[in-house]
């Protein structure tokens, strides 16, 4: 039994896809969320910068006495998981491994699509993980650099002509490749779930990296005896830019107001 909080971070709003699932499956846990909204996007940056930002994010979260950290960011998981794990003496969960496992289990024709930020696709991390599980799976990867800015600006609803156009442009080649499974390799992308699902069609299984990672982390914490016995937990939110903008969009996405529980952090101090 462990009553300490779990830290969760992302470059911005995307990690809320993992947080929402953690809250659903582990309602008694205290969660501390950090969204680096002042420096988003990470996915268009080089590996050194991503690693520096990720180290600061973890250092901030560790100013709380945590029992685990969930890297709710595909870009950080794909580029910095090994370093963060080696440098920290607590369990750290990334999104790549669980998503790769879910994709390999889901595909029936062995053709898996992968979308992510430029830095995630460049890293080859998802391909490496999937190859370890099944060398026969063919992966069709596509970087989608415009998705994160759209989501961060609240443009994720079906019917939004800009969003529909960008989705069509990025995903047409994957549809032509006849993938039957699509890994949403960035935690922002499940906010576009409906638009993507509608474009790809009902025969394509979408893998939500945030939710898959949350489920894996919950299982691992349970196995290690690190879950709380509280029945009702809570969540505090921290961001590195406007708390109002984050509260507005997070409230829409989480389906309930978070105003009053969002605080600002000077992340460069960490």
The interface mask with ligand DGL, positions 143-172, x = CB under 6 A, is -----x------------------------
The nearer residue to ligand DGL, 130 or 227, going by C-beta atoms, is: 130
Stretch that binds ligand DGL, among 34-42, 52-60, 200-208, 223-231 (CB under 6 A): 34-42
Closest CB 51 distance from ligand DGL, rounded Å: 14
Q: Judged by CB under 6 A, does residue 98 bind ligand DGL?
A: no
Q: Using CB under 6 A, which of 74, 94, 98, 190 touches ligand DGL? A: 74
Residue 182 CB, nearest distance to ligand DGL (Å)? Answer: 15
Strand duo 111-116 + 68-71: pairing: unpaired
Q: String of b and e for 22-52 (b: at least 16 CB within 10 Å)?
A: bbeebeebbbbbbbbbbbbbbbbbeeeebbe
Strand order in the sheet with 111-116: 138-143, 111-116, 181-184, 205-208
Rounded to a whole number of angstroms, the minimum distance from the CB of residue 64 to ligand DGL is: 21
| Rounded Cα gap, residues 231 and 27, in angstroms | 7
| For ligand DGL, the closer CB: 50 or 226 | 50
Binding mask 100-129 for ligand DGL (x = CB under 6 A): -----------------x--x---------
Q: Does the N-terminal peptide bond of residue 14 adopt cis geometry, omega within 30 degrees of 0? A: no
Of these, 8, 9, 11, 267, which contacts ligand DGL (CB under 6 A)? Answer: 11
Q: Which tokens hold the place of 82?
A: 């090994």
Distance CA 63, CA 20 (A): 23
The answer to the question of residue 21 lying near ligand DGL (CB under 6 A) is no
Size of the chain, expressed as the number of residues it contains: 270
| 139 and 126 Cβ atoms separated by less than 8 Å | yes
Q: Which is nearer to ligand DGL, 68 or 148 (CB)?
A: 148
Known catalytic residues are 73, 186
* Paired strand residues for 8: 33, 70
Q: How many helices (H) and strands (E) does the chain have?
A: 11, 10
* Number of chain residues interacting with ligand DGL (CB under 6 A): 16
Per CB under 6 A, the list member of 10, 29, 30, 208 interacting with ligand DGL is 10
**Binding positions for ligand DGL, rule: CB under 6 A:** 10-11, 14, 40-43, 73-75, 117, 120, 148, 186-188
């Amino acid at each position: 039994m462990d009553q300490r909080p779990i830290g969760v971070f992302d470059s911005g709003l995307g990690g809320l896809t993992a947080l929402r699932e953690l809250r659903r499956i582990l309602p008694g846990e205290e969660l501390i969320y950090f969204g680096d909204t002042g420096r988003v996007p990470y996915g268009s940056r080089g590996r050194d910068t991503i690693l520096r930002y990720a180290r600061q994010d973890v250092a901030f979260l560790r100013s709380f006495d945590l029992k685990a950290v969930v890297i709710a960011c595909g870009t950080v998981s794909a580029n910095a998981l090994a370093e963060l794990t080696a440098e920290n003496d607590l369990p750290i969960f990334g999104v790549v491994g669980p998503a790769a496992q879910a994709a390999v289990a889901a595909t029936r024709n062995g053709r898996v699509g992968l979308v992510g930020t430029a830095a995630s696709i460049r890293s080859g991390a998802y391909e490496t993980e999937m190859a370890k599980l099944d060398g026969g799976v063919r992966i069709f990867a596509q970087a989608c650099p415009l998705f994160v800015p759209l989501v961060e600006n609240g443009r994720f609803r079906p019917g939004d002509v800009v969003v529909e156009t960008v989705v069509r442009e990025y995903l047409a080649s994957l549809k032509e490749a006849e993938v039957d499974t699509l890994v949403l390799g960035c935690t922002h992308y499940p906010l576009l779930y409906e638009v993507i699902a509608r474009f790809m069609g009902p025969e394509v299984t979408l893998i939500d990296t945030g939710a898959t990672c949350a489920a894996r982390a919950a299982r691992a914490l349970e196995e290690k005896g690190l879950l709380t016995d509280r029945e009702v937990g809570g969540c505090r939110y921290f961001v590195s830019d406007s708390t109002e903008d984050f509260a507005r969009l997070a409230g829409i996405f989480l389906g309930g107001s978070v105003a009053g529980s969002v605080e600002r952090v000077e992340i460069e101090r960490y």
